[in-house]
Amino acid sequence: MEMITKMVLERPVVIYSKSSCCMSHTVKTLLCDFGANPAVHELDEVPRGREIEQALLRLGCSPAVPAIFIGGELVGGANEVMSLHLNGSLIPMLKQAGAFKEKLRGLKLAQGEANSLSNMVHFDDVRLEHDVAFVKYVLDDKQRKMFVDELHSTRGVLAGERARMFQLQKKKSKTNMDV
């Protein structure tokens, strides 16, 4: 029991599982999809796994796997986690336990990348507008046509970058709403 107590305090979300258990797989998938990044202990793959399984049974986990701990507290098995999810209390419980801190760090990195990309696209847009003004003033009709064709191609690339930036910002906004 001491070993379990120590292990569940190492991370905000801890799952005791067996690699062959479909319910364990379901719970792991659900929590990972939320971005909770649980510590997973596959009892059929770790030394002393049988001992841990017996301790979980003594704690009241029946069946022993999956056994889910959030914030150091036993939540229960798959049924309990699914019930918490369906009644809307799983996400707040994960938030309170600090399960999304790593996800938030990733979001901050993505936000920085999106901002950097936005600044680069804006700079390129301004530069292109200056080039267009220059071309209209200096080049003859034939040179202007060649340049405008190349300009359209470049704008297509920039539009693709803008779309990528928009998708990053949209993903960030959706994830912020989920968290």
The answer to whether 90 and 81 have CB atoms below 8 angstroms apart is: yes
With 90 as the cut, is the pLDDT of residue 51 above it?
A: yes
pTM: 0.60
Report pLDDT for 163: 74
15 and 27 Cβ atoms separated by less than 8 Å:
yes
Which ranges of 10-100 does DSSP label H, i.e. alpha helix? 22-34, 49-59, 78-86, 90-97
* Share of residues in the chain with pLDDT > 90 (%): 40
In CATH, what number does 2-97 get? 3.40.30.10
Tell me the per-residue pLDDT of 90-110, one tens digit each, with 9 for 90 and over. Answer: 999 998 998 877 665 555 666
pLDDT value at residue 16: 96
pLDDT of residue 37: 84
